[in-house]
Amino acid sequence: MDEINQQSRFWIGVVSASHVKCGELGGFAQLCHGKSVPLRKMRAGDWLIYYSPRTEMTKGAPLQAFTAIGEVDDDKVYEYQMSESFVPFRRKIRYISCREVQIRDLLEQLSFTRGNRNWGYSFRYGQFEIGREDFLTIASAMLSNEQIECF
């Protein structure tokens, strides 16, 4: 894991927990049902935190947790053929081992949720950028002290 540089940007990706696990195992990110635009917003050295509203995409149990964290590995967005009719876009991510963190534990600490009764609205877009302080707050909850010291 590299240190965060001054040019790094920080992103939330909204994906079911089961799909996050597939991405972690494969070392990739796939957002917004495989669209390329969200992935093209990111650059090598940016950071992605996955938020999972549910365990499975449509009928999964409610989860509302941050489920993975990783660094964008390069500037390539590529297509991956999952089936004859579905060819989503992906990008390489270096995930780091972390623990799942319920968002309710951080609602009053994050600038994009603090004091907002409708905090879930921004998550509806599938991806959004957050500030460095919010990233560090979430990362501190997800990572061990030794991992955080790298930042």
Residue range 83-114, pLDDT digits in tens: 999 999 999 999 999 999 999 999 999 999 99
- Burial of residue 101 (CB within 10 Å: 0-12, 13-18, 19+) is buried
The arithmetic mean of pLDDT across residues 68-87, rounded, is 95
Taking the model in full, what pTM does it have? 0.93
Tokens of 31: 């957002």
